[in-house]
């Protein structure tokens, strides 16, 4: 559990430093006067903090603000290359790995084979991460972010039924073996963090990220920050019961949303309807179903329409409870969105409480690297997070950033 720190001059400096760095990182280039105005800090405090950040090589003067006749102000921007982070999206059969700079720009990416159900799955993952660290030699590497389809507690213990993982001590094991900060969260949460730092979530304080594909996920941003719940499990949208007498879900319950609209469920329905051959893999079955729908097959169109309607009804419930400004829909399941969209939109409109209607809903194309970038954003967020609470892993990232110039690069 996070513990509130006692007030001290050092803490106030940390708070100011993190707040200024966060503002420059997400809203820059920006002038010192504007920083002072937005953060309600004195000009002298902003000057002192930014002078230190320039000396540390984390920010620099990048331009001059337009002048109204007086002395033009200087605009400060992030030094993106001052430090890097690794991000990994863990899937059942592969790893998507990226290296990003402080601006979240992807500098390198790879896809590696992986078997999540193998007895040596954690050892496999550690081996791939060592190789990625070696490829980053010569850079200042702040840490590693991992996105996994499951629940992750504050220590990095993972419960991921979809991967067959039960109480896997992923965080402690990897931190010990790799000697770097390792931050882990639900993969949909990581996507939401990336959107908040670098995407469309920068412009709104309350938004949701809904994902469909192998499973159904939800990332919740409230008041500009990720909501994780008391045990790190907020957002298990796929396990909301839709039909108590419905099919058995991987979680053990019956009639979960995921058991009705996720890719494995769609393939199962297609097999029952004789549209897909038994024994095919889930990706093969979904692709076959999508091709049939593209060709106008009524059975395939019906399956997608039913899934779109169920998902839309559930999303309407989210709007009624959380009243977001924006909903982003992502995941591999969006490849069939043209066949889901109409029923989805109809049910959202029908099921949303009148005064809350009109929420913007945007659909993203599927991209594994974007999810890996989201995982890296866990590390980047720690560099910008205001350290009101003691969070040992995030503190270790900030310590590496503060000491990056003296400690040097990864060797």
114 and 210 housed in the same domain: no
392 and 357 housed in the same domain: no
Domain boundary among 78, 100, 133: 78
Distance, in Å, from the CA atom of 321 to the CA atom of 356, rounded to the nearest integer, reads 10
Extract the tokens encoding 151. 């629940």
End-to-end CA distance of the chain: 34
Distance, in Å, from the CA atom of 270 to the CA atom of 215, rounded to the nearest integer, reads 17
The answer to whether 29 and 74 are in contact (CB under 8 A) is no
Q: Is 40 strand, coil or helix?
A: coil
354 and 376 housed in the same domain: no
Distance, in Å, from the CA atom of 113 to the CA atom of 331, rounded to the nearest integer, reads 20
Nearest to 146 by CA among 303, 376, 308, 350: 376
Give the per-residue pLDDT at 3.
Answer: 42
Q: Is residue 411 part of a domain?
A: no
Walk along the chain (411 residues) and give the pLDDT tens digit of each residue.
Answer: 344 444 456 656 766 777 788 788 777 789 999 999 988 889 999 999 899 888 888 888 887 655 555 555 689 888 878 889 999 999 989 999 999 998 888 999 999 999 999 999 999 999 999 999 999 998 889 899 999 988 888 889 999 988 889 999 999 999 999 999 999 999 999 899 888 877 888 889 999 999 999 899 999 999 888 898 887 788 999 999 999 999 999 888 999 999 999 999 999 999 999 999 998 999 999 999 999 999 999 999 999 999 999 999 999 999 999 999 999 999 999 999 999 999 999 999 999 999 999 999 999 877 888 889 989 988 887 776 654 444 556 667 767 766 654 444 665
The Cα-based distances of 380 to 65, 153, 209, 318, 364 in angstroms read 27, 19, 19, 28, 22
Host domain of residue 214: 202-366
Q: Is 286 strand, coil or helix?
A: helix
319 and 221 housed in the same domain: yes
Return the CA Rg of the chain: 23
316 and 210 housed in the same domain: yes
330 and 393 housed in the same domain: no
Q: Is residue 185 part of a domain?
A: no
The answer to whether 395 and 403 are in contact (CB under 8 A) is no
217 and 175 housed in the same domain: no
Q: Is residue 216 part of a domain?
A: yes
Q: Is residue 123 part of a domain?
A: yes
Spatial CB neighbours of 167, under 8 Å, sequence gap ≥ 6: 157, 158, 159
241 and 219 housed in the same domain: yes
Q: Is residue 275 part of a domain?
A: yes
Extract the tokens encoding 176. 């010990």
242 and 358 housed in the same domain: yes
Q: Is residue 318 part of a domain?
A: yes
Q: Is residue 410 part of a domain?
A: no
208 and 252 housed in the same domain: yes
CATH (domain of 169) = 3.30.420.40
206 and 343 housed in the same domain: yes
264 and 129 housed in the same domain: no
Extract the tokens encoding 335. 């490849």
Q: Is residue 51 part of a domain?
A: yes
Domain boundary among 51, 78, 105: 78
Our count of domains for the chain comes to: 3
Distance, in Å, from the CA atom of 219 to the CA atom of 186, rounded to the nearest integer, reads 9
Distance, in Å, from the CA atom of 147 to the CA atom of 116, rounded to the nearest integer, reads 13
Domain boundary among 78, 105, 140: 78
pTM of the predicted protein model: 0.78
CATH (domain of 65) = 1.10.10.10
């Amino acid at each position: 559990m996070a513990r509130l720190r006692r007030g001290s001059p050092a803490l106030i400096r940390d708070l100011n430093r993190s707040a200024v760095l966060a503002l420059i990182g997400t809203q820059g280039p920006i002038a010192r006067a504007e920083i002072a105005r937005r953060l309600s800090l004195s000009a002298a405090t902003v000057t002192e903090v930014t002078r230190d950040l320039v000396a540390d090589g984390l920010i620099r003067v990048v331009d001059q603000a337009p002048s109204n006749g007086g002395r033009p102000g200087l605009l400060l921007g992030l030094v993106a290359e001052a430090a890097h982070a690794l991000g990994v999206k863990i899937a059942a059969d592969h790893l998507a790995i990226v290296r990003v700079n402080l601006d979240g720009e992807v500098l390198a990416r790879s896809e590696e084979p992986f078997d999540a159900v193998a007895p040596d799955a954690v050892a496999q993952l550690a081996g791939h991460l060592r190789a990625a660290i070696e490829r980053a030699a010569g850079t200042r590497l702040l840490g590693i972010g991992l996105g996994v389809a499951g629940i992750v507690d504050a220590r990095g213990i993972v419960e991921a039924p979809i991967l067959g993982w039960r109480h896997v001590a992923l965080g402690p094991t990897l931190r010990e073996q790799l000697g770097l900060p390792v931050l882990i969260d639900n993969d949909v949460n990581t996507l939401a963090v990336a959107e908040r730092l670098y995407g469309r979530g920068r412009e709104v304080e309350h938004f949701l990220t809904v994902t469909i594909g192998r499973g159904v996920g939800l990332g919740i941003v409230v008041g500009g920050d990720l909501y994780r719940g008391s045990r790190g499990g907020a957002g298990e949208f796929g396990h909301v019961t839709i039909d108590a007498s419905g099919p058995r879900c991987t979680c053990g319950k019956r009639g979960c949303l995921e058991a009705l609209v996720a890719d494995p469920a769609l393939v199962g329905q297609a097999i029952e309807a004789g549209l897909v051959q038994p024994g095919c893999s889930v990706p093969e079955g979904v692709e076959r179903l999508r091709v049939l729908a593209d060709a106008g097959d009524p059975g395939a169109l019906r399956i997608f329409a039913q899934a779109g309607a169920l998902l839309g009804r559930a999303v309407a419930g989210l709007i009624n409870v959380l009243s977001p400004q924006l909903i982003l829909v992502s995941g591999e399941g969006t490849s069939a969105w043209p066949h889901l969209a109409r029923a989805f939109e109809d049910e959202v409109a029908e099921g949303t409480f009148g005064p809350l209607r009109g929420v913007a809903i945007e659909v993203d194309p599927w991209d594994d690297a974007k999810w890996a970038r989201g995982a890296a954003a866990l590390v980047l967020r720690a560099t910008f997070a205001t350290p009101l609470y003691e969070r040992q892993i995030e503190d270790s990232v900030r310590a590496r950033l503060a000491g990056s110039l003296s400690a040097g690069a990864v060797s």
